[in-house]
Amino acid sequence: MRRLTMCTMMAAAGLTAVAGSASAQNLKAEIPFSFRVRGALMPAGQYQVKVESTSAGSMLLFRNTDARRAILVQYSLADAPKAWAEKNAATLQFECAGGHCEVRGLYIGQGRSAFQIPGPAFKYGESQLTELRMTPIKSE
């Protein structure tokens, strides 16, 4: 009986940890400019970003809630910039040049890893990085 109780408590703790981690990966942000993500032009507006599991693997879903437009994007994991990890705040990063912006990275506000999103390179010295803070979407 003790073993069953212990296993049940451990399973409940594990489910709580997974649920907490998943809810932290559902984020929203107001993006005040149009941008590209993996070649697709996305309009300015309110966005939700979350990690989705698909048959092709885990991907990021960018959903514009104003225009009802969405795109799934592959990513790679990398160490989060030190400044992001120190602030512990969800951050979406863009690289912009000549009026065009590309999504480059996403940090969910916890841990040491960030999502990197590949895209076309800008010429060295012609671009600047722009960061927007994201807020977690509270699960219901």
Beta bridge partners of 76: 116
pLDDT at 137 over 90: no
69 CB neighbour count, 10 Å cutoff: 15
User: What pLDDT, on the 0 to 100 scale, is given for residue 59?
Assistant: 92
User: What pLDDT, on the 0 to 100 scale, is given for residue 58?
Assistant: 85
Nearest to 47 by CA among 92, 16, 89, 3: 92
Nearest to 116 by CA among 87, 85, 83, 81: 81
Digit-coded pLDDT (tens) for 42-98: 999 999 999 988 777 789 999 999 888 999 999 999 999 888 888 889 999 999 998
pLDDT at 6 over 80: no
User: What pLDDT, on the 0 to 100 scale, is given for residue 122?
Assistant: 84
User: What pLDDT, on the 0 to 100 scale, is given for residue 139?
Assistant: 66
Q: Which residue has the tokens 């966005």?
A: 47
The pair of structure tokens assigned to 58 is 């885990």
Digit-coded pLDDT (tens) for 16-48: 333 334 334 799 999 999 999 988 999 999 999
Q: Can you give the pTM of this predicted structure? A: 0.76
pLDDT at 1 over 70: no
